[in-house]
Structure 1
């Protein structure tokens, strides 16, 4: 083959190769995935902002819940009895409440404040007997302001405890709030999971006169929140007031 023909063939082959390389380079640039698409699924998920955890709703309906709300509009089954009752300073309470109560009174005693328990869990039958006695002694209107009808008492939950001074002074009376034990409980009970369930000035919400001796166990987290908010359980749970019994 003449030398000039060889040079021509070489030039043509070189041109074809250059065109092919350019075409392949163009295809590579158009088909390459975006950098973010090349990341593993786990890496892409990690870049998403974390959503705040949703708070757990308060279980105010189940009888076994430590946050069950019992009032004149929200009764318990009359036959209800908690399954984990234990002795706490001579009165029956649910296990969790009993442990918290014993811790509370031990630390109160260490601070020089003796506290005793006078009432814990009561059955529906026991509550009926108590309510009847109040009705006979004070009349139905007064009885409804200081005692619950059977099925409507917090004591039936096993989470309520009435406390007193060991010498019996001001027992189950408003003056208990001014006593050493009453003052200490008002200032400290919420650190142990208890609240004063029927505070002064909330009669139109709770349906009961102020009872500085009546403590209700709700758990340490909720007791701090309720105490700091300065509200009743009804208000804290977003429930309507219960000044009277439902029809």
Structure 2
């Protein structure tokens, strides 16, 4: 009886062990249905990479489509007198007037308004005016500057074709030639001031003058770093003279809209480069 019991217990234990131990086939089947955790992680990362690539490709596509909507410089000119190009889009917020591209001599913006900002003078004269959208944006810029204890003043906005003629003639006489005068002032029709989208600004720390030293003042630095938030750019940048055709003018602000201004600021480019 004892022997039988031992054998019985041994048989039962062996049967139980056999029932609990998976066969080779069972192990292989299990491996086929359950992936290695590291493989699952790799697959997940690959899916994320694929999604990110799709998002990146879509963003690039959207950016290219936006660029296609912008008027290029070549598309916005017609030949004028003396071989100079005359712009055909003077009312466009992104219009470019420079030494190669003149505004029509009879162009006058039809929505000129006076921004409610402090000026360096009190007389009611045309150079206080700007196009309505630019004037509203300038008010926002000045209001924010004041909140941050930055005190700036406006100096010169809209400038008619006739006024440009008078200024250029004066400078040609002062400097001895039109060529020398053109280094500091624009030929009639080539000034951005005629667009009604520009404003020269200054401060007491610059002695209310339009000088390069303004760029080194507290006010000048603030404007350079914040103007784009209100749709403005410092139009004539240092180191970009060969592109703009004009010397560095930290006081000359040009309205182009917040989207364009932000892009131009972040990429450290000029309006010409933005539209090219």
Please indicate the TM-score interval, normalised by the length of the shorter structure. 0.7 to 0.9
Identify unmatched segments of 5+ residues in structure 2.
Answer: 1-57, 77-88, 120-127
Q: Which structure has the highest helix share of the two?
A: 2
Do structure 1's residue 58 and structure 2's residue 74 form an aligned pair?
no
Q: Distance in 2 between matches of 1:170 and 1:100?
A: 22
Q: Distance in 1 between matches of 2:180 and 2:141?
A: 32
Matched residue, 2:3: none
1:79–1:123 CA contact under 8 A, matched in 2: no
CA deviation profile, 1:53-105 (whole Å, cap 9, x unmatched): 53252236310000001111111101100011000135100011000000000
- Any residues of structure 2 matched to 1:85-234 within 5 Å, and which? 85-88=112-115, 89=117, 91-139=128-176, 140-166=178-204, 169=207, 171-234=209-272
Which runs of 5 or more structure 1 residues have no equivalent in the other structure?
A: 1-49, 239-247
Mapping of 1:19-58 within 5 angstroms?
53=62, 54-55=65-66, 57-58=69-70
Distance in 1 between residues matched to 2:105 and 2:204, nearest whole Å: 32
Task: Work out the CA distance in 2 between the residues paired with 1:79 and 1:167.
Answer: 38
Shift of 1:146: 1.4
Which residue is equivalent to 1:71?
Answer: 98
Q: CA deviation at 1:166?
A: 4.5
Structure 1 Cα separation of the partners of residues 227 and 209 of structure 2? 18
**Is the 1:170–1:176 contact (alpha carbons within 8 Å) kept by the matching residues of 2?**
no
Conservation of the 8 A alpha-carbon contact between 2:236 and 2:246: yes
Contact 2:91 2:109 in 1 (8 A): yes
Cα–Cα, structure 1 residues 168 and 175, in superposed 2: closer, same or farther, change >3 Å? Answer: closer
Q: CA RMSD in A?
A: 1.8
Q: What is the TM-score when the length of structure 1 is the normalising length?
A: 0.72
Q: Secondary structure at the match of 2:101?
A: coil
1:230 match: secondary structure: coil
TM-score (norm 2): 0.65
Q: Which stretches of structure 1, 4 residues or more, deviate above 3 A after TM superposition?
A: 50-53
Q: Distance in 2 between matches of 1:187 and 1:160?
A: 18
Q: Which residue matches 2:125?
A: none
Higher alpha-carbon deviation: 161-170 or 140-149: 161-170
Q: How many residues align?
A: 189
